[in-house]
C-alpha cells in the first residue's frame, strides 16, 4: 500500500493536481506533519514549487475564522446567539420567503418571514438562506431579476435575496456566515480585516491571512495558481470568474487567502483549547450540536442525497450522523478508524479540507487550488489525506 507521501507525489507527477500542502498536529505536540507536493504555479523554476508558506484562496474555509470572531463578540456580551439580527442587518431582514412561481404568470410567490433571524441560524446554515447557484428556485428568481449567482461587490448586493425557507425549519449551505461577518463589522465599527488582525491573527502571530492578498506585495508574490480540471482529466490554469472577483467587502464566508501554516495555528488553538481565541467554555460550546430538530432532518436528507452531497469537499458517509457546530459540520457518531464523535469538519471550494478531532487530539488541513469543488480525483486525495493523518498519528502514539 502506497504511503501518504507516495500518493501525493504520484498525483503531482502524473498531473492529477498541480500541488498540495498538508499539515497535521496533535494535542501533545509530538505529531507534527508538514509536507508540500508539486508546484504552486506552472513552470519549472525553484520559485514555482509549492511551499508551506504558499498563499491559497481559502474560499469557505474563511467561515471558521468569522465564526470565531462572532463568538468573541458573544463572549463580550455584544451579541447573543438567539437574538434576532433584523435590526443589525435590515437588508436581509426585509427579505420574504420564496415559495415557488405561478405557472400561469411566471411571477414569484412570496410570503413574509415569521420566524426570527437568529444569529445561531446564520452560523449554522439554517437561517433560510441558500446559495443561488445551489437552489433552482433562487436561480429562477435571479434570472427574472437579472441577478447572476455570486454577483455583486458587497455582501448586501450579492446576498440580499429571498429566503428559501423559514429560519430554523430547514438546512441548506448558504451565505449566512457572510452576513454574520457583516454583523461583526456593524457591531464593532471595524472591517473584518481589521477585526481579524487585532483579535485573531495578532494573538497567534498570523501574518499571511488577508482579504486583499494583491494589495500586499510580500503575500501576492506567494499566491498559488488556481487550476481547473480539463475534459481529458488533466489540469490547466483556471480562466473563469472566481468568487472573490470584484469584491469590495470583506466576505466573511469566502473571501480570505493565506498560507496553511497560519491556518493551522487557528485549528491548533481550537484543538488544544488554549484560550487564546476563545474562553475554554466557549470553545466547548463551539463543538456542540446547534441545529433544531427540523433543520437536522433537512440536513440529513441532503447528506443522504448523492446528487446534492457530491458538491461538498470531503467524504460524508450516509450511514453516519451529523449536526452543525458553530464553525463546521459535526460528526455525531464514532467512525471506526477516523472521526470521533464531535469531530468538526469543513472545507473550501478549491478543494481545501480541514478537521478538528478533539477526542483523538488531532487536527489537520489539506490545501489544493483546483476547481471544480469536490473534483473526483481531488475527493479521493482528500479521503486518503484524512485516513493518512489518523494512521500516522496512531503509528507515533507511545
Question: What amino acid positions are annotated as catalytic residues?
Answer: 60
Rounded to the nearest 10 degrees, what angle do helices 260-272 and 62-75 cross at? 40
Rounded-to-integer distance, Cα 177 and Cα 81, Å: 13
Q: Which of 255, 261, 271 is nearest to 348 (CA)?
A: 255
Residue 65 is placed in which grid cell? 475564522
**In a 3-state reduction of DSSP, which class is residue 30?**
coil
Report, in angstroms and rounded to the nearest whole number, the Rg of the chain calculated over CA atoms: 20
**In a 3-state reduction of DSSP, which class is residue 378?**
helix
Any residues with CB less than 8 A from the CB of 281 and at least 6 apart, and which? none
Note the maximum CA span of the chain: 70
Q: Name the burial class of residue 270, with classes exposed (0-12), middle (13-18) and buried (19+) by CB atoms within 10 angstroms of its CB.
A: buried
Q: Which residue is associated with the grid cell 463589522?
A: 185
Instruction: Check residue 390 and report its DSSP letter.
Output: H
Q: Which residue is associated with the grid cell 498559488?
A: 224
Amino acid at each position: 500500500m502506497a504511503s501518504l507521501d507516495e500518493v501525493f507525489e504520484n498525483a503531482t507527477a502524473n498531473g492529477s493536481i498541480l500541488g498540495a500542502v498538508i499539515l497535521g498536529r496533535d494535542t501533545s505536540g509530538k505529531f507534527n506533519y508538514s509536507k508540500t507536493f508539486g508546484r504552486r504555479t506552472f513552470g519549472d523554476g525553484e520559485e514555482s514549487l509549492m511551499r508551506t508558506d504558499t498563499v491559497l484562496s481559502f474560499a469557505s474555509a474563511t467561515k471558521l475564522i468569522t465564526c470565531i470572531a462572532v463568538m468573541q463578540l458573544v463572549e463580550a456580551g455584544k451579541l447573543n446567539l438567539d437574538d434576532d439580527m433584523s435590526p443589525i442587518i435590515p437588508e436581509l431582514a426585509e427579505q420574504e420567503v420564496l415559495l415557488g412561481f405561478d405557472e400561469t404568470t411566471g411571477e414569484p410567490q412570496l410570503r413574509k418571514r415569521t420566524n426570527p433571524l437568529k444569529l445561531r441560524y446564520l452560523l449554522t446554515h439554517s437561517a433560510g438562506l441558500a446559495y443561488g447557484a445551489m437552489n433552482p428556485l433562487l436561480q429562477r428568481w435571479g434570472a427574472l431579476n437579472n441577478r447572476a449567482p455570486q454577483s455583486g461587490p458587497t455582501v448586501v448586493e450579492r446576498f440580499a435575496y429571498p429566503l428559501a425557507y423559514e429560519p430554523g425549519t430547514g438546512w441548506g449551505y448558504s451565505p449566512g456566515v457572510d452576513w454574520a461577518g457583516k454583523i461583526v463589522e456593524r457591531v464593532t465599527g471595524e472591517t473584518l480585516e481589521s477585526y481579524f488582525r487585532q483579535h485573531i491573527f495578532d494573538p497567534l502571530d498570523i501574518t499571511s491571512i488577508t482579504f486583499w492578498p494583491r494589495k500586499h506585495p510580500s503575500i501576492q508574490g506567494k499566491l498559488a495558481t488556481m487550476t481547473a480540471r480539463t475534459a481529458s482529466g488533466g489540469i490547466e490554469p483556471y480562466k473563469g470568474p472566481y468568487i472573490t472577483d470584484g469584491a469590495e467587502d470583506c466576505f466573511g464566508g469566502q473571501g480570505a487567502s493565506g498560507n496553511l501554516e497560519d491556518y493551522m495555528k487557528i485549528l491548533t488553538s481550537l484543538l488544544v483549547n488554549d484560550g487564546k481565541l476563545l474562553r475554554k467554555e466557549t470553545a466547548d460550546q463551539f463543538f456542540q450540536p446547534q441545529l433544531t430538530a427540523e433543520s437536522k432532518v433537512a440536513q440529513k436528507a441532503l447528506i443522504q442525497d448523492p446528487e446534492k452531497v457530491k458538491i461538498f469537499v470531503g467524504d460524508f458517509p450516509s450511514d453516519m450522523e451529523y449536526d452543525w457546530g458553530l464553525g463546521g459540520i459535526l460528526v455525531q457518531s464514532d467512525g471506526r478508524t477516523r472521526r470521533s464523535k464531535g469531530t468538526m469538519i469543513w472545507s473550501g471550494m478549491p478543494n481545501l479540507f480541514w478537521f478538528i478531532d478533539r477526542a483523538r487530539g488531532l487536527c489537520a488541513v489539506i490545501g489544493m487550488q483546483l476547481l471544480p469543488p469536490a473534483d473526483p480525483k481531488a475527493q479521493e486525495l482528500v479521503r486518503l489525506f484524512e485516513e493518512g493523518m489518523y494512521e500516522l498519528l496512531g503509528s507515533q502514539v507511545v
